[in-house]
């Protein structure tokens, strides 16, 4: 958390920061970018899920019975903002293989920078699940705010957002629209340019992940 952005958690672990540097470099291959995004997402996921409530269950070890902790309540809901969110979804599913999964198709109109919804499929009973929205880049936050609006309309109460990079403009916009949503990221960059790209950033995360232009 920072004083200026109380809802933001920057995961400043050396491994995360080192891998992010490699991801930012413009000449890295698609395969390397994808692999690093997976590795960083596993590390970010660890922090995003840190405060999940625990209960305990009676089990038998080979030697004796014990009360052992397990995660309480309904399974998580992971909601990927298409398409770049999918690169963070798969590693989160490695951490939480029973999670329910939703997809929100919100592309950014390159002229207006406003989100346009083209697909929405969400898990049931969102009110009873922690909901983790995933999208690597929190730039203007227009899509992210629309995504939070959407999951809250479906009942979500505990909503967290996992991103790779944030712009201060996006963090402020999310905090104004949804002050209860905690945002987890690897870095808070300097600013947005006039096309809505994060500076210094890493370019278009979807293009770099999928090898498109």
Binding site for ligand URA (CB under 6 A): 137, 139, 196-198, 201, 204-206
Q: Which is nearer to ligand URA, 11 or 139 (CB)?
A: 139
Q: How far is the CB of 213 from ligand URA (least distance, A)?
A: 13
DSSP 121-180: E--S-GGGSEEEEE-SEESS-HHHHHHHHHHHHTT--EEEEE-SEE-HHHHHHHHHH-TT
**149: annotated binding-site residue?**
no
Active site annotation includes 129: no
Q: For 154, left (φ over 0), alpha (ψ -120 to 50), or beta?
A: alpha
- Catalytic one among 34, 35, 38, 108? 108
d(CA 60, CA 65): 4
Q: Is the distance from CB of 56 to CB of 39 less than 8 angstroms?
A: no
Catalytic residue selected from 58, 61, 112, 194: 112
Name which of 102 and 206 has its Cβ closer to ligand URA. Answer: 206
142 belongs to an annotated ligand binding site:
yes
Annotation says 112 is catalytic: yes
11, with CB counted inside 10 A (0-12, 13-18, 19+), is buried
In the complex, the smallest distance separating the C-beta of residue 198 from ligand URA, rounded to whole angstroms, is 4
State in angstroms the smallest separation of the CB of 25 from ligand URA. 15
Per the annotation, binding residues for 5-phospho-alpha-D-ribose 1-diphosphate are 83, 108, 135-143, 204
Give catalytic residues, as residue numbers: 108, 112, 204, 207
């Amino acid at each position: 958390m920072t004083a200026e952005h109380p809802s933001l958690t920057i995961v400043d672990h050396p491994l995360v920061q080192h891998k992010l540097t490699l991801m930012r470099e413009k000449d890295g291959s698609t395969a390397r970018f994808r692999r690093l995004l997976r590795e960083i997402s596993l590390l970010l996921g660890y922090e995003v899920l840190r405060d999940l409530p625990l209960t305990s269950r009676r089990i038998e070890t080979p030697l004796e019975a014990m009360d052992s902790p397990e995660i309480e309540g309904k399974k998580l809901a992971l909601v990927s903002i298409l398409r770049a969110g999918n690169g963070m979804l798969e590693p989160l599913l490695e951490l939480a293989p029973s999670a329910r999964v939703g997809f929100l198709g919100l592309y950014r109109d390159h002229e207006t920078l406003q989100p346009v919804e083209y697909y929405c499929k969400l898990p049931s009973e969102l009110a009873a699940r922690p909901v983790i929205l995933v999208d690597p880049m929190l730039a203007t936050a227009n899509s992210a705010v629309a995504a939070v609006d959407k999951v809250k309309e479906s009942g979500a109460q505990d909503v967290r957002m996992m991103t790779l990079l944030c712009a201060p403009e996006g963090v402020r916009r999310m905090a104004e629209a949804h002050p209860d949503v905690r945002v987890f990221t690897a870095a808070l960059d300097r600013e947005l340019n006039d096309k809505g790209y994060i500076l210094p950033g890493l370019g278009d995360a979807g293009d770099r992940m999928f090898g498109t232009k």
